[in-house]
Structures are given as C-alpha cells and as structure tokens.
Amino acid sequence: MAAASVTSPWLLRKAFQALAFSQPLHTNKHLSFYGNLCSFPFQYPLRSSGLCHISQVIKGDNDVLLKGVGDKSAIEEVKHILDTARRAATRREVFHTDFLTPPVLKESMIVLQKLADVKAVAQGGYPQAERCRLSIGHSEVLTNDPNVVAIINISGNFSFQPCSHGDFLGAILGKGIAREKLGDIILQGEKGAHVLIVPELVDFLMSTLDKVANVSVSCTQIPLLALEYEPPRTQSFKTIEASLRVDALASAGFKISRSKLVDLISNGDVRVNWATVTKNGTTLKTGDIISVSGKGRLKIGEINSTKKGKFSVELIRYL
C-alpha cells in the first residue's frame, strides 16, 4: 500500500506532463500555449524603474502602449500579443506566436521591451530571417526554445524548370496550410528549397507535398544547423516617375501595365511592407517593400528630385 501511494501520483504526474507538452492549446490563430507545470501565485515587487509592470497594466495603459505603434496596420496583432504577454507574466507560462511579418515583429518587440515582467525571444531559424516567431514569458521562466522552428528540405530536379519563391509557397498553401504557419522560404537553386515551418506541421507537409509546379519533389526534415542561406540576388535600376504612387512604381518595377497593376490592387494581390494595399494612390518612400502575387518583390531605394519636378527612383528587384 505504501509503495502504491508513492508510485501512483508519480505516474499521474508524468502522464500529465506528457499530455501538456505534446499538445499545444491554440488561443487564437496566432498563438499556441505551453503550460509551465510549476506555476505558483506570486506578487511583483514594486520598483520605480520607469518600466511598466504587466500585472498593473489595465485597458488605459494598453491604449497608451499601442499609441506608440508606428505601423497602424499592425495594431490588432500587437494588441493580441500584448494581451498574451499579460497572461504569460501572471501565470508564469510561455506562449509562442505563429510566424509574424517584419512590421508586426518590430512593433511587438518595441512594445514588449517597455514591460518589466516579460521577456520576448524572436526565432526565425537563422539570423537573417524575415518572418519570426515570438516566444513570450515571464523573464524567470523563458528560455530560447530550439523546437519552436523546424526546417523542411524540399528537393527535386529543378534543372529544366526553375521554380520561384511563389511556386513553392503556392504549392504549400495548396495543401491547406495557413501562411502564418510558415516562415521564410530559402531557394536552393536547382536543388529545391528550405522551408521554415512550425514543428507540429512537419509530418503533415512531408506526407502530402509531392509536387511544386510540375516538378516531383520529396520532403525531409533537416536540423537548423544544416540550413543553407545565401543573400538574395537582386537587380537595381532607376525609373523617372511623376509621382511616388504605388501603382506607378510597382508598374515600372515589375514591368507590367499600370491598368494591370490597378486590377491587381483591386484583387488584393499587392502588398506594401506585408500589408495589403487598397488604394492606387498610396505613397511610397525609401525602404518600402512591394510584393505582388505571382511577380515577386522589389524594394524602393534612393529617391531624388529631378530638375523637371519629377522623381528619380532606384528600384531593387529581388530575383
């Protein structure tokens, strides 16, 4: 009887740990939850440090923090992440977001750095990653979790039919995987591509993806250290335009007619800094990234005024 009273709770505890850590609970489409089994009620010490203690944040304070968000299109996602930070701090649990776009990641990190009781770690699989996941938790319990990002190597014979970033992305999304579950896609030339993905979808993608465009492929998981990355190839050229409107610059950059570009905007196929553009007259500036579905991406480089009152714009096309 004595042995049973010791062994039974131990077995139950192990079973509970296995269940808790093997099955994340989704709080919304951007967040997954991993419980810390050693959670205890606690109180934060009151310090005059100039930082905001998350346990004291109320709706009004939330609004103040969100007013500092420069990219207004990112506010809703940053708000969700801020709410998650509150739960992570008060419960001493760790939450992982899905992959975030660079603007959302940047704005979220700026807001979270103002909180004294939480720590955030961005992970995209490699140092130059654009799309990253955020791990958010109380500063005493959060560690850098290498299992938050996985890599799948998609291989095939692309010698006679090179495939673009859009080809690989379209093939994966065609399997029903949401975009936020995917990180960067790193092309490997004739060999295929490396795809960053949330670990829980690795088996599904490996068992379902068999073609990219018309090329038969095979998928294998590889360790993070095996990732092969080279800076993207680009081509720069200049254009003279009467305005800095997105329809003018994108038309010149992708070498398509302005009327076709307007149709793409109407269909929601044009994005600036990863946010969908709805107005043809959206004004661009140096550093902006334009993405057009099926066409790729380009970056706005140096902008100078001409003597005739027009704009000389450097366009950097990603190949």
Q: Quick one: tokens of 175?
A: 């399997």
Q: Which residue has the tokens 């018309």?
A: 214
Residue with token string 């990234």:
289
| Residue pLDDT, tens place only, 114-161 | 887 788 999 999 988 999 999 998 877 876 566 899 999 999 999 999
Domain 232-316 sits in CATH 3.20.20.140: no
Partners of 121 in beta bridges = 135
Is domain 62-135 classified as CATH 3.30.1370? yes
Strand, coil or helix: 196: strand
Per-residue pLDDT of the chain (319 residues; tens, 9 = 90+): 444 434 444 444 444 333 333 333 333 444 444 333 222 222 223 233 445 554 444 444 666 666 666 666 678 888 889 888 888 888 888 999 999 998 899 889 888 888 877 889 999 999 889 999 999 988 778 765 668 999 999 999 999 999 988 899 999 999 999 999 999 999 998 999 999 999 999 999 999 999 999 999 999 999 998 998 888 789 999 999 999 999 999 999 999 999 999 999 999 999 998 888 989 999 999 999 999 988 889 999 999 999 999 999 999 998 7
pLDDT at 159: 92
Residues 216, 213: Cα–Cα separation, whole Å: 8
234 conformational bin, left if phi > 0, alpha if psi -120 to 50, beta if neither: beta
Distance, CA of 55 to CA of 52 (rounded, Å): 9
Nearest Cα to Cα of residue 65 among 133, 119, 115: 115
- Residue 186: the pLDDT is 94
Task: Reduce the DSSP state of residue 302 to 3 states and report it.
Answer: strand
Q: Where are the domains of the chain?
A: 62-135, 148-224, 232-316
Provide the pLDDT for residue 202.
97
In this predicted structure, what is the pLDDT of residue 60? Answer: 44
H or E element: which one contains 280?
Answer: none
What's the pLDDT at 30?
A: 46
Amino acid at the residue 295: K
Task: Supply the pTM of this predicted model.
Answer: 0.67
Distance CA 37, CA 34 (A): 9
DSSP at 179 = G
Provide the token pair at 233. Answer: 């190839």
According to CATH, the topology of domain 148-224 is Alpha-Beta Plaits (3.30.70)
Q: What is the dihedral of CA 191, 194, 200, 201, to 10 degrees?
A: -50
Q: What is the pLDDT of residue 219?
A: 98
For residue 143, the model assigns a pLDDT of: 65
Label residue 213 exposed, middle or buried (CB < 10 Å: 0-12, 13-18, 19+).
middle
Tokens 């930070």 found at: 85
